[in-house]
Amino acid sequence: MPIAAHPLNSFVAALELRSPMSESDRSALLDLPFSLRTLEKSSYILREADIPINCGTLVSGYAFRHKTTYSGGRQLLSILLPGDAFDLQNLYLNASDHSIQMMTRGDVALIDRRLLNDLAATRPAIQLAIFIKVLAEAAMFREWILNIGRRSAEERIAHLLCEIATRQQAKEPRLIDTFQLPISQEELADAAGITPIHVGRILKKLSTLGLVSRGRQSLEYSDLEGLGRLADFNPSYLHLRHDRMP
Amino acid sequence: MPIAAHPLNSFVAALELRSPMSESDRSALLDLPFSLRTLEKSSYILREADIPINCGTLVSGYAFRHKTTYSGGRQLLSILLPGDAFDLQNLYLNASDHSIQMMTRGDVALIDRRLLNDLAATRPAIQLAIFIKVLAEAAMFREWILNIGRRSAEERIAHLLCEIATRQQAKEPRLIDTFQLPISQEELADAAGITPIHVGRILKKLSTLGLVSRGRQSLEYSDLEGLGRLADFNPSYLHLRHDRMP
DNA sequence: CGGCGCATTGACTATTTTCAAAACTTGTGG
DNA sequence: CCACAAGTTTTGAAAATAGTCAATGCGCCG
């Protein structure tokens, strides 16, 4: 298998995004045994209350984290883009407090979390990279709280899209002026903490403003700067500039 | 200074709550140099965009994390109880994405984060305990998202109180059937993502239901079970049972 | 005792939800 | 190729929830 196509490449890249690593660490990660699996849309990678066994990476496709209330309300917590590492949040916890579910069909590579853990124990740079990735995810959860708690429905949707576009761009630093997200209105609603019907009305407005264009179960946007202005978007919480600790 | 009164005792306890430690690790932590400081109500421990220099512990008093939107909206992200460790979230990040502010007058003990970091590098149990503490905090952020995104205003307030009572009880496992929180209605509002006026109306309702009783800038509650039922509270997200990784 | 900050009240407004129905896509099988 | 079924999106109107504004009350501290 050529290096370029190694399924764990994106796992390594996800860790390296905010914390550099030696060639040796990189290849130690790539040498980890993993299992590759194709998952259908809506299938679960992990369920709330499960004992987490694996970490891994979304080789292709989109997914999201969510949790639900007793009365059935669903709340998305984050969106996983193709290439994103997942389940580092459960690395040392023994019952997952949330679920991870596929948003589209896609492939995942699974790594036994004990093996990753053992590797991290002997390689400080890997330990650190995992730690920093977890901290950056926590920062995104904090911004998500602010978004839902203190912004209008329009701003929430716009902010969500800005975050996704920025993360996407950080991963593939070529110039993209448009980007498509395969998300339904119901999923957007559960991400923003509003109803799907209201999402529809807001998207109509954003669309007449020329900020997004809509397809069935997908969303495309061209005027990222306009969305950012509307949403009060400031990407510093993503901690993408890795000026490391002195 | 007698051990019992060592200001860092609560720091060690915060780490040990979810991850055991040897006597040697414990005393290595207690040997860390620290500075003790009394802070007035509303003063900042850390400001958004600051470069974090210290970790530490709230020796006494209450505090909260928050962030703000450009238009001035403030959103609380978590509440720090007396004895809570803080700023582990910034341990390896170089610009804070949120602020920490005193809710009451209180004392803090500050530790240079580089020294804690160096210690963790040589003591895996400390590294792990810090990691697990960070993961547990992230789990609380996730529940906070669900709370604000998918529960009614009444449920949000009730849930908040349940979380605080449960955390308090985990720290001091003696039987408490009542507990007082020195929080204003404005702070509660910014925690729940609603307006202070609406908080007032909700507290009135909760109070006629016999679930809470109110003082000036404080809140006392006796019927924790009733609050829990109202709020759909399930403490498992706090990860307080430390059945560790096999 | 005065002033300040916080809490309360009431009337009004805005936003968002709810409910019900219709239109539209997409995929499937005859 | 068409008809049907299932899921998503759109629409409209009514209702509930939460926000705004302005005025008043209360308690604490100097």
The 10s digit of each residue's pLDDT in A46-77 is: 999 999 999 999 999 999 999 999 999 999 99
* Order of strands across the sheet that contains A212-215: A179-181, A218-221, A212-215
- Mean pLDDT computed over A232-243: 88
Neighbouring CB atoms inside 10 A of A184's CB total 15
Å between CA of B153 and C1' of D18: 9
B148 in reach of chain A (CB within 8 A): yes
Q: Answer yes or no: do A243 and B49 touch at CB < 8 A.
A: no
Per DSSP, helices labelled H in chain A are 9-16, 23-30, 113-122, 124-150, 153-171, 185-192, 196-208, 224-231
- Mean pLDDT computed over B200-226: 90
Q: How far apart are CA A232 and CA B72, in angstroms?
A: 11
Task: Show the tokens assigned to A237.
Answer: 């919480």
Q: Report A:197-236 residues touching B (Cβ under 8 A).
A: 232, 234, 236
Note the pLDDT tens digit of each residue in A184-220.
999 999 999 999 999 999 999 999 999 999 888 889 8
8 Å CB contact between A195 and A189? yes
Task: Show the tokens assigned to A7.
Answer: 């399924």
Residues on chain A touching B143 (C-beta within 8 angstroms): 67, 97
**pLDDT given for residue A4 in this prediction:** 56
Question: Per-residue confidence at B178, pLDDT binned at 50, 70, 90?
Answer: confident
- Mean pLDDT computed over B31-40: 96
> For strand C, is any atom closer than 7 Å to the CB of B200?
yes
- Asked if residue B140 has pLDDT above 80, the reply is yes
Q: Answer yes or no: do B244 and A94 touch at CB < 8 A.
A: yes
Q: How far apart are CA B151 and CA A71, in angstroms?
A: 9
- Mean pLDDT computed over B63-86: 96
- Mean pLDDT computed over B182-193: 96
Q: How far apart are CA A244 and CA A8, in angstroms?
A: 25
Consecutive H or E run containing B237: none
Mutate to test the interface with A, among B92, B123, B198 (most CBs of A within 10 A): B92
- Asked if residue A20 has pLDDT above 80, the reply is yes
Neighbouring CB atoms inside 10 A of A37's CB total 14
Question: Per-residue confidence at A175, pLDDT binned at 50, 70, 90?
Answer: low
A74 in reach of chain B (CB within 8 A): yes
What are phi and psi for residue B38, nearest 5 degrees?
-100, 130
Residues on chain B touching A193 (C-beta within 8 angstroms): 148-150
Q: How far apart are CA B18 and CA B129, in angstroms?
A: 7
Q: Answer yes or no: do A73 and B150 touch at CB < 8 A.
A: yes
Å between CA of A192 and C1' of C29: 39
Query: Which amino acid type is present at position B7?
Result: P
Mutate to test the interface with A, among B19, B51, B93 (most CBs of A within 10 A): B93
Question: Per-residue confidence at B175, pLDDT binned at 50, 70, 90?
Answer: low
- Asked if residue B246 has pLDDT above 50, the reply is no
Contacting residues for A125 by C-beta, under 8 A, at least 6 apart? A19, A20, A21, A22, A25
**pLDDT given for residue B242 in this prediction:** 62
B30 in reach of chain A (CB within 8 A): no
- Mean pLDDT computed over B102-123: 96
Q: Answer yes or no: do B141 and A141 touch at CB < 8 A.
A: yes
For chain B, percent of residues with pLDDT exceeding 70: 96
Q: Report A:116-135 residues touching B (Cβ under 8 A).
A: 117, 121, 124, 127-128, 131-132, 134-135
Query: Which amino acid type is present at position A21?
Result: M
Selection from A174, A130, A165 nearest residue A14 by Cα: A130
How far B65 CA lies from chain A's nearest CA (Å)? 10
CA atoms within 13 A on the CB side of B136: 26
* Order of strands across the sheet that contains B74-80: B44-46, B99-102, B63-68, B74-80
- Asked if residue A122 has pLDDT above 90, the reply is yes
Search chain B and give the residue with CA nearest A49.
Answer: B236
- Beta-bridge partners for B58: B108
**pLDDT given for residue B173 in this prediction:** 75
Contacting residues for B4 by C-beta, under 8 A, at least 6 apart? none
> For strand D, is any atom closer than 7 Å to the CB of A215?
no
Report in angstroms the alpha-carbon separations of B200 from A107, B15, B74, B194, B214: 50, 36, 18, 11, 10
Selection from B230, B237, B227, B170 nearest residue A94 by Cα: B237
- Asked if residue B176 has pLDDT above 80, the reply is no
Selection from B34, B40, B72 nearest residue B56 by Cα: B34
Burial code of A196-220, b = ≥16 C-beta within 10 A, e = fewer? eeebeebbeebeeeebbbeeeeebe
B32 in reach of chain A (CB within 8 A): no
Note the pLDDT tens digit of each residue in B213-224.
988 888 988 788
Q: How far apart are CA A98 and CA B236, in angstroms?
A: 11
**pLDDT given for residue B172 in this prediction:** 82
Selection from B159, B180, B92 nearest residue A133 by Cα: B92
> For strand C, is any atom closer than 7 Å to the CB of A117?
no
Q: What is the residue-averaged pLDDT of chain A? A: 93
Task: Show the tokens assigned to A79.
Answer: 């969106």
> For strand D, is any atom closer than 7 Å to the CB of B207?
no
Q: Answer yes or no: do B139 and A97 touch at CB < 8 A.
A: yes
Task: Show the tokens assigned to A31.
Answer: 């040498």
Among all chains, which residue has been given the structure tokens 């990189």?
A26
> For strand D, is any atom closer than 7 Å to the CB of A174?
no
How far B112 CA lies from chain A's nearest CA (Å)? 12
Q: How far apart are CA A137 and CA A87, in angstroms?
A: 11
Question: Among A184-198, A232-246, B29-43, B148-162, which is the least confidently predicted range?
Answer: A232-246
- Asked if residue A166 has pLDDT above 90, the reply is yes
Secondary structure letter of residue A90 according to DSSP: G
**pLDDT given for residue B84 in this prediction:** 96
Secondary structure letter of residue A180 according to DSSP: E
8 Å CB contact between B48 and B100? no
Selection from A89, A29, A25, A84 nearest residue A59 by Cα: A84
**pLDDT given for residue B3 in this prediction:** 47
Å between CA of B158 and C1' of D16: 20
